[in-house]
Amino acid sequence: MVKITRHALESALHGAKELHPDEFLCVFASDDGSVFDRILLTPLADYGPTHASFNDYFMPTGGFKASFHSHPNGVLQPSRQDLTLFSAKGAFHAIAGPPYTKQNLVFFDKQGKKVEFTPEKDGSVTLQYQ
Ligand SMILES: [Zn+2]
């Protein structure tokens, strides 16, 4: 089971809102690999209207498992570049569009297939991901 806490999720959505109309990118961090309770921003990240990227050098040792980025144009589908990144790194990836709420949030697996999630009462979400 993979859970993203309300704090982590709201931090990511807030970042997306702040950077709009530029694209925002971060990773979800976890101590145990299943509960993601915070986000990591990297130095020298590059945010633009149609892309965002970060320097791998600043990624946590061992890479990351979960990424988040925004699509300011509201298209909640991975781009071709996204699919390349998804297949190379991480296990699941969130894409959010304006107005950056849980209703405009989609999770994908490595293959770019949609991963369903369940909103919990405490504001966290649980991913139907093995
Ligand atoms: Zn994208």
pLDDT > 90: percent of the chain: 69
* pLDDT at residue 89, rounded to an integer: 87
Distance 5 CA to ligand 1 centre (A): 22
**Distance, CA 25 to ligand 1 centroid (Å)?**
9
Is a pLDDT exceeding 70 seen at residue 61?
Answer: no
Mean pLDDT estimate for the chain: 89
Count the domains in the chain.
1
Radius of gyration of the chain, Cα coordinates, nearest whole angstrom: 13
Residues in the 5 Å CB sphere of ion ligand 1: 79, 82
Q: How far is the CA of 82 from the centre of ligand 1 (A)?
A: 5
Question: Residue type at 13?
Answer: L
Tell me what the mean pLDDT of segment 104-129 comes to: 94
pLDDT bucket at 85, cuts 50 / 70 / 90:
confident
Average pLDDT over residues 62-82: 90
Handedness of CA 62, 13, 73, 102 (dihedral sign): positive
Q: How far apart are CA 6 and CA 120, in angstroms?
A: 9
CATH number of the structural domain spanning residue 26: 3.40.140.10
Which of 4-8, 81-85, 93-97, 124-128 has the least mean pLDDT? Answer: 81-85
Ligand 1 mean position, distance from CA 24 (Å):
10
Domain that holds residue 42: 2-127
pTM of the entire structure?
A: 0.89
